[in-house]
Amino acid sequence: MTEPATPSEPSDQTTLSHVRADGSAHMVDVSDKAVTDRSATATATVVTRPDVVARILDGSLPKGEVIGTARIAAIMAVKKTSDLIPLCHPLPIAGVQVDITGTDDRVLIEVAVRTTSRTGVEMEALTGASVAALTVYDMVKAVDRAASITDIRVLEKHGGRTGDWSNR
């Protein structure tokens, strides 16, 4: 495993992979990359009032069961990432693990995605966490319009040319 990176650590890549010499965007050709096991985990946080978190956990919100709905939304979003993010490759998703917990004034969402492919699943994990957070917000806005979504980020990735990376 490589050393953990810091959020401000620059990439060792000197050119932008999704930009051609003329400045136009394009999808990266990954056909020369090895097919390997890859995984990524991303997180998002929904900040709301403690009483709303309690209602999420006990299932008593007006729109229904938040955690199960957000979990399904995350899985669906992971599978549709290449339809949402213009230059992402469609990937065969091997597995998605979604953990949603509540504490104090926060709903913590963690999405882990696995594939065996030529490119990583960081964008899929981020999309899953983001859509789960949007789903939580949608379901709590009737009782807390001031709820907010924060801290969407990749926690770790494994596999591929650049190896393992962690920001936990």
Q: Domain locations in the chain?
A: 36-159
Q: Give the class (CATH, top level) of 36-159.
A: alpha beta
| pTM of this structure | 0.86
Angle between helices 50-58 and 122-140 (to 10 degrees): 100
Spot the catalytic one: 99, 105, 138, 151. 138
Q: Which tens digits make up the pLDDT trace of 83-104? A: 999 989 999 999 999 999 999 9
**Can 58 be counted among the known catalytic residues?**
no
**CA-based nearest residue to 108, from 64, 155, 158:** 155
Q: Which tens digits make up the pLDDT trace of 46-74? A: 999 999 999 999 999 999 999 999 999 99
Q: Token pair of 129, please?
A: 């966490």
CA distance 63 to 142: 8
* H or E stretch covering 66: helix 66-79
Q: Token pair of 112, please?
A: 């882990």
Rounded to the nearest integer, the mean pLDDT of the chain is 90
